[in-house]
Amino acid sequence: MKRARLDNFLRTRLDINRRDVRVLLARGCVKVDGVLATEINQVIDQFSHISLDDEVLQAYQPTYIMLNKPAGIVSATRDEKHTTVIDLLDCDDKASLHIVGRLDYNTTGLVLLTNDGSWSSRITEPDQKVSKRYRVTLEKPLTPEYTEAFAAGIYFAFEGITTRPAKLTILSGHLPEGHVAEVELLEGRYHQIKRMFGHMDNKVVALHRFSVGNLELDASLQPGESRALTEHEVNNIK
């Protein structure tokens, strides 16, 4: 349930009619988040704590997790052949979680998981313009032409679209590990970064996502490890 009217919830949950709902509210039997409910059209959601006298009718809690995804792990909730990001978690409610922006099989780094659909939509919908930043290691050297091409957007003939402007920062001159860049995207198309560099005839050797919006991957998390987000991180990710 995302958002619904209180009376509809009570009718379904208790198998009663609308008149009975009015009686319960008039008697002060129903509380929502600890407050007496008086209006049948009060809006609730999946995380509203709802009680009838001493009986709890709903008490789901939102969960927000960051995971440092290793290579060779599938961004899926279930897979018959491969280990998934859900399999790596150690929490009781992991079966209720979904992935907020997937990573490819061999891409590493920050993956977010939650049971809060409204929160994940605010992060993944393109119109929200929540950036994702990646560190990319490439097969060939980088030149200023890459930065210009990414800023202009690159045409994907298969979909018939041009990518949104992306920020590319060349780091190769400052790092010992080879041809390296940081890429900041405001969208997440299929294999987007690999295809953008492929357009420039340069193969991606390694790809690592280190931030989503204002949230950076916790440096203390080893590959495969996870932790719950703080309230501040949840509320200020954008």
Task: Indicate which residues carry an active-site annotation.
Answer: 104
Distance CA 30, CA 23 (A): 10
Dihedral angle, C-alpha 227, 77, 73, 133, nearest 10 °:
-60
Nearest to 8 by CA among 37, 31, 42, 35: 42
Distance CA 28, CA 72 (A): 55
Per the structure block, which two tokens stand in for 164? 């949104």
What is residue 228's DSSP assignment? E
What is residue 95's DSSP assignment? G
Distance CA 89, CA 75 (A): 13
Distance CA 122, CA 135 (A): 24
> Residue 148 burial by CB count (10 A; 0-12/13-18/19+): exposed, middle or buried?
exposed
Residues in the chain: 238
